Amino acid sequence: MRRILIALSLCLLLSGCGMKDIDKRFYVVTTGIDWSGNPQKPYRISVRLAITSAKVESGSSKTQIVTIDAPSIAEGVRHLKSFVDKELEFGHCRVFILGKELLQNGPPGSMSWFARRRDIQLVSYFAVGDPDALSVLKVQPQSERYPGNALFLTFGKEGTESPYITTTYLFDMVRRHFEMGLDPVLPVIRPKEKTYEVDRVLLMDKKKSRLILTPEETQLYNMTANKATKSEMKMSRGADRVVLTVNYVRSKIDVGQGDIPLVTMKVKIRGFLEESPPDLLEKDWHGLERELGKHFSGQVEELLYKIRDAGVDPYGFGLHYLASYFGGKKDYERWVEAYSKVRFKVVTEVKITGAGVVR
């Protein structure tokens, strides 16, 4: 018994130095990394810190922003600690924003910092700030109850669920950064007075950003790559607009064989008409479905060619290709060569479940 007691009391000495009360920690809610332009200290690191209060109401969130220029992110963060009175805590930092300029100026070499730090969650969201990250951080959304909550809700699909918003997690971004034949995609956040506009995506290759899609294209991308429901298909028909609300999207990619492979994408869409001229559906139900499908296929094909010409591969066609071969370096080189000449074929099968009203 005495021996057990001694062993237990010795265990008490083993405790680490992790003890730090929650009110002695400063929560970073958003981190922004920008390109400073100074080659000695290329990274401008800004953190948005939460000032919590016991009372919670809309618009009551208070934050503080601290900024520093540093030669690397790790050094910058270490230095930032001396600017604040409490321990910086990244455990709840769910949003990381990279400046648009930073991505244009080559890959951030110390990007692995995010994945290496133990307190940064791998499910945190990554995004691009346009024109820069700091200006996104400075926005104080009026509806925010908790500091930083607006962006958490935007990307977390807890709040808004929009087909224009792409969510990129840290683990996915790291994977896409290293995987052959699959490239990173980042949503673009543009500050606008007291709110954010998140309706574009930025496509990058392994090194730098290549292409920013328009909101329309972003929606098409999300539908075909991320199964984004609650989206819409639209088409002009003479003077009228036909709008289909999509409840169900599935897409299947098939990369063919041959020197210049043909990439086939099969899309299945189900939804109901939200806006259409009267009596349209009754006249020719299947005809309308075919027409919508054809229109959609055309749009997607156009998007795919645009993406191909930019030299990026957010869909992972390359990965599909490699999967049907041995997947070695040689296969990859062959794919890279072929990709610029690859042809696309999109087949869309639309099913209209109704017109949204009882006939």
Q: Which of 6, 37, 53, 227 binds other proteins (CB under 8 A)?
A: 53
CB of residue 117 to other proteins, shortest distance in Å: 12
4: CB partners within 8 A, 6+ apart: none
Contact between 299 and other proteins by CB under 8 A: the answer reads no
Q: Which stretch binds other proteins (CB under 8 A): 14-22, 77-85, 128-136, 232-240?
A: 14-22
- Nearest distance, CB of residue 21 and other proteins, angstroms: 5
Tell me if 92 contacts other proteins by CB under 8 A.
yes
Could you say which of 3, 5, 7, 21 contacts other proteins (CB under 8 A)? 21
Angle between helices 215-226 and 285-310 (to 10 degrees): 100
- CA 342, chain centre distance (Å): 26
Q: DSSP assignment, residue 24?
A: G
Q: Which of residues 54-73 bind other proteins (CB under 8 A)?
A: 54-56
Q: Count the site residues for other proteins by CB under 8 A.
A: 32
- Identified binder of other proteins from the candidate list 59, 91, 131, 328, rule CB under 8 A: 91
Among 59, 119, 243, 353, binds other proteins (CB under 8 A): 119
**Interface with other proteins, residue 6, by CB under 8 A:** no
Question: Omega into 147 within 30° of 0, i.e. cis?
Answer: no
Q: Applying CB under 8 A, which part among 11-19, 227-235, 253-261, 350-358 lies near other proteins?
A: 11-19
Q: Is 336 exposed, middle or buried (0-12, 13-18, 19+ CB in 10 A)?
A: middle
Which of 6/56 has CB closer to other proteins?
Answer: 56
Q: Segment contacting other proteins (CB under 8 A): 47-55, 64-72, 257-265, 289-297?
A: 47-55
Cβ(34)–Cβ(44) below 8 Å: yes
Which contacts qualify for 206-213: CB closer than 8 Å, 24 or more apart? 206/107, 206/177, 207/106, 207/107, 208/103, 208/104, 208/105, 208/106, 208/107, 209/100, 209/103, 209/104, 209/128, 210/310, 210/311, 210/312, 211/306, 211/307, 211/310, 211/312, 212/130, 212/188, 213/303
Helix (H, G, I), strand (E, B) or coil at 44: strand
DSSP 8-state secondary structure symbol assigned to residue 315: T
Task: Give yes or no for residue 114 binding other proteins (CB under 8 A).
Answer: no
Among 67, 72, 105, 121, binds other proteins (CB under 8 A): 121
Residue 243: both structure tokens together: 């709008």
Binding mask 122-161 for other proteins (x = CB under 8 A): -----------------------xxxxx--x---------
- Work out whether 32 is an interface residue with other proteins (CB under 8 A): no
User: How many angstroms separate the CA atoms of 276 and 282, rounded?
Assistant: 11
Give residues in contact with other proteins (CB under 8 A). 11-12, 14-16, 18-23, 25, 27, 29, 50, 52-56, 89, 91-92, 94, 119, 121, 145-149, 152
